[in-house]
Amino acid sequence: MDDIISAQNLTKNFGNFTAVNDVSFNVQKGEIFAFLGPNGAGKTTTIKMLTTLLKPSSGIIKLNGIDVTTHPEKARKTFGIVFQDPSLDDELTAMENMEFHAVLYKVPHREIKERIEKFLNLVELWDKKNDLVKTFSGGMKRRLEIARGLLHKPEILFLDEPTQGLDPQTRNKIWEYLKNLNKDTQITVFFTTHYMEEAEQIAQRIAIMDHGKIIETGTATKLMEQTQTKSLEKAFLKLTGTAIRDEEASGVDKLRIRARRWNR
Amino acid sequence: MSAIYILWKRELIRYFRSRARLVGSLGQPLLFLVALGFGLGPIFQKAGQGNYFQFLGPGVICMGILFTGVFAGIQVIWDRQFGFLKETLVAPISRFEIMFGKTLGGATVAFIQGCFVLVLTMVVGFRVQNFLMLPLALVAMFLIALFFTALGISIASILEDMQGFQLILNFIVQPVFFLSGALFPLTGVVSFLSVIAYFNPLAYGVDAVRGSLTGVTHFGLATDFTVLIVICLIVLALGSYLFSKVEA
């Protein structure tokens, strides 16, 4: 119906390793959706598939009705993304990074200046527009990436651990921008995080993923009721166990490299 | 088109912004000019081959282009490690546009570097024989730049990180340079060296630049330019193919 993100039977194998195993979910237009899970659960791999960066081994993804595998370029226009690791050009200024993005996404020429000003103001970086990004702090970089991700007015914003390593003030600000934006423009927000209180306070719906599968989906209240716990953190631990996951230097990437070497 | 333009522009902004790199990469050509030019020049002269700077100049110009071009291409690996590559890969543009924009940008940078080295050789004592042929030399320089940048991007598309960097330097870039006839004439060398030169893209590049600037060629200008154009097209196609396989 109004599903803006729809994933059906999504699977991704790297050699013998199954990172994402037959996952299906839907996100509605205008929803704020949190994707939780321990390290190595398959969250980033799922986001990469949703955003056309990885081809699924099997399954269908539709963004706003567009099949991501068959029409990647068209699908890319519908979303903005903030990656887990920074993806800015440090040697360019904030302004140049924004202009680069605007041109790649074919923002109409006469609107470029106005939009850059609007979104840099939104994340309170307009004063720093001519500074090289390498002089920015982690929080400033993250805010700039959010502004950049919004520049082409996407319908969906993907955020992979957008607040990781940031102080509470910056985290609070970032969620404030995003909540306001969601209210004003009905933009759909899909994010992953390790901060349970963020998911609890901000997301309308939460999916918990572990070992490549989605184990529960629902509102924070529902997840707590179901597990008979008093906080989302407790519910999360009850669902995913308390054992520490060693994600050895991005183990999935290593496996992928190995798989590529031998199978290509 | 505009995507190709902005990718090209990014390479140029970065190049002119890092003055250290700009000046630093002139150091190696200067060293070759001074050490070999002044060092081996008298021997070259005694062997009846004339002024060594006239011979060495075009070789060193091509060396500047070769190194700058390959490394401009390989920077895609840095883009990958610093995450910026992802920003271009999720953009609604084709992989060919990304590859082509980056190649043009890197090639322009390498070409400019080659022009700086040309000026440097003239300071040291190189003389252009016929200025009417200079545009042809510039075309050859740009083709060399294009070829090696596209080659660098092709290599970067296969490598996962900078671990293989030394390998490329020692097994591709250095041999291509030293066995190209940039430093010594290919006429009269041991036959295996001249056979290798037949398969060395830079040999044709050096010959084209030298032929245009000094009037002395080994393969003939027509052959040089035909080969340069053909191999440029091949490596561009190869680069586009390999780059299209890159996953973030």
ipTM: 0.88
**Mind listing the pLDDT tens digit of every residue in chain B (248 residues)?**
799 999 999 999 999 998 888 888 899 999 999 999 999 999 999 988 889 999 999 999 999 999 999 998 888 888 888 889 999 999 999 999 999 999 999 999 999 999 999 999 999 989 999 899 999 999 999 999 999 999 999 999 988 777 787 888 888 999 999 999 999 999 888 999 999 999 999 999 999 999 999 999 999 999 999 999 999 999 999 999 999 888 76
Last residue of some domain: A119, A153, A187?
A153
* Cross-chain Cβ contact A86/B82 below 8 Å: yes
Per the listing, tokens 């890319």 go with A76
In this predicted structure, what is the pLDDT of residue B169?
81
A104 is a domain residue: yes
| H/E segment holding residue A26 | strand A17-28
> How many Å apart are CA B122 and CA B131, to the nearest integer?
13
Same domain, A207 and A248: yes
**Which positions in chain A touch B84 (Cβ < 8 Å)?**
87-89
> How many Å apart are CA B195 and CA B193, to the nearest integer?
5
Last residue of some domain: A124, A153, A182?
A153
A68 is a domain residue: yes
- Total tally of structural domains belonging to chain A: 2
A169 is a domain residue: no
Distance of residue B78 Cα from the nearest chain A Cα, in angstroms:
11
Q: Does B198 touch chain A (CB under 8 A)?
A: no
> How many Å apart are CA B1 and CA B241, to the nearest integer?
19
Same domain, A243 and A201: yes
A237 is a domain residue: yes
Instruction: Say which of A77, A86, A103 has its CB closest to residue B6.
Output: A103
A256 is a domain residue: yes
Query: For chain A, which residues score pLDDT lower than 50?
Result: 251, 263-264
* Cross-chain Cβ contact B91/A104 below 8 Å: yes
Same domain, A99 and A183: no
Domain that holds residue A235: 3-78+155-164+174-263
Q: Torsions phi, psi of A208, nearest 5?
A: -110, 125
A252 is a domain residue: yes
Record the pTM: 0.88
In this predicted structure, what is the pLDDT of residue B49?
86
Same domain, A48 and A58: yes
* Nearest of A166, A115, A158 to residue A141 by alpha carbon: A166
Same domain, A186 and A243: yes
Q: Torsions phi, psi of B32, nearest 5?
A: -60, -40
> CB under 8 Å to A91, separation ≥6 — which residues?
A132, A133, A134, B13, B14, B17, B18
* Cross-chain Cβ contact A86/B10 below 8 Å: no
Per the listing, tokens 């004063």 go with A127
Radius of gyration of chain B (CA): 18
- DSSP structure class, residue A164: T
**Which positions in chain A touch B2 (Cβ < 8 Å)?**
103, 106
Mutation to test the A interface, candidates B82, B90, B94, most A Cβ within 10 Å: B90
Same domain, A159 and A149: no
Contact B245, B157 (CB under 8 A): yes
Contact A34, A192 (CB under 8 A): yes
Q: Cα separations (Å) of B236 from A65, B83, B150, B164, B241?
A: 35, 24, 6, 22, 9
A31 is a domain residue: yes
Distance of residue B118 Cα from the nearest chain A Cα, in angstroms:
28
Q: Is B39 left (phi over 0), alpha (psi -120 to 50) or beta?
A: alpha
A45 is a domain residue: yes
> How many Å apart are CA B40 and CA B60, to the nearest integer?
14
Chain A residues with CB under 8 Å of a chain B CB are 48, 51-55, 73-74, 76-77, 81, 83, 85-92, 96, 99-101, 103-106, 256-257
The token duo for B231 is: 């191999």
The identity of residue B123, as a single letter, is V
Same domain, A110 and A61: no
Same domain, A179 and A58: yes
In this predicted structure, what is the pLDDT of residue A164?
86
Q: Cα separations (Å) of B187 from A119, A209, B49, B184, B208?
A: 64, 68, 12, 9, 15
Same domain, A74 and A181: yes
**Which positions in chain B touch A91 (Cβ < 8 Å)?**
13-14, 17-18
Same domain, A101 and A200: no
Q: Does B84 touch chain A (CB under 8 A)?
A: yes
**Which positions in chain B touch A104 (Cβ < 8 Å)?**
3, 6, 88, 91-93
Contact A68, A62 (CB under 8 A): yes
Same domain, A253 and A194: yes
> CATH number, domain at A211?
3.40.50.300
Same domain, A230 and A119: no
Last residue of some domain: A153, A185, A211?
A153
